[in-house]
Every structure is written in structure tokens, then in C-alpha cells.
């Protein structure tokens, strides 16, 4: 699966950003899609996941502030990030997963939140 993220940038604390990820190369609707992030000096962590069916999952640190969504007609997912905090700073990666067969990553997009 080829994944291409867009929408990162530099903002102030309290601002909003919307990330998008476009997927190609496979039947999109069967994939579990997610957003992960990696801050400098830290391991990559899950931010939000939207399965092919079922409920979305969020990291506790972003619950109530971030919203993940998918559009199976356009093969895209989005991450609406509101009330951003400096600790949200990092490189955000789009991920596509299908059991043990697919586990693909985008190139990442930088999000920087200053206080």
C-alpha cells in the first residue's frame, strides 16, 4: 500500500490542524488505518486507529481533542487535531494494516506546536 500524508505544519498551542492520508494499491475498505507519531528521542506511539469496521481507538492523551475519520470512496483518512498542545509535536505517520499481511507506513509529516 502506498501512503501519502499531508497537512502538517507549525502552529501555536490551542490551534487546530487537519492531517490527511491518501492510500493506493489495494482495496482500501478492508484495511485498518491509523495515525502514529514520534517525538524527538521517543518511540513511535499510536495516536488513533479506525478499523475497517468497528469502533475507533484513541490514545488517552488525545481523547476529546483529536478525531480520526475515513472515506472509503476516496481512499483517504483524516486526523482532525484540535486544542493542540506542545506535547503533540512530532512526526505523524499514516499506517495501513491487514492482519499479518500488510503493515505499511507513509513518509511522515511534521507537526510542531509551540507554546
Q: Give per-residue pLDDT as tens, 27-46.
A: 899 899 999 999 999 999 99
Q: How far apart are CA 106 and CA 8, in angstroms?
A: 13
pLDDT tens per residue, range 46-88 = 999 999 987 999 999 999 999 999 999 999 999 999 999 999 9
| Pick from 69, 87, 86: nearest CA to 78 | 69
The CA dihedral of 7, 80, 2, 104, to the nearest 10 degrees, is 120
**Whole-angstrom Cα distance, residue 29 to residue 17?**
25
Amino acid at each position: 500500500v502506498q501512503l501519502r500524508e499531508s497537512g502538517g505544519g507549525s502552529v501555536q498551542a490551542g490551534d487546530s490542524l487537519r492531517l490527511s492520508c491518501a492510500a493506493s494499491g489495494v482495496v482500501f475498505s478492508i484495511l485498518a488505518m491509523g495515525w502514529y507519531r514520534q517525538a524527538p528521542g521517543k518511540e513511535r506511539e499510536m495516536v488513533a486507529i479506525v478499523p475497517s469496521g468497528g469502533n475507533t481507538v484513541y490514545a488517552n492523551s488525545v481523547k476529546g481533542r483529536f478525531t480520526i475519520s475515513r472515506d472509503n470512496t476516496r481512499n483517504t483518512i483524516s486526523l482532525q487535531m484540535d486544542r493542540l498542545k506542545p506535547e503533540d509535536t512530532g512526526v505523524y505517520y499514516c499506517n495501513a494494516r491487514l492482519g499479518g499481511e500488510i503493515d505499511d507506513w507513509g513518509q511522515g509529516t511534521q507537526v510542531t506546536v509551540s507554546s
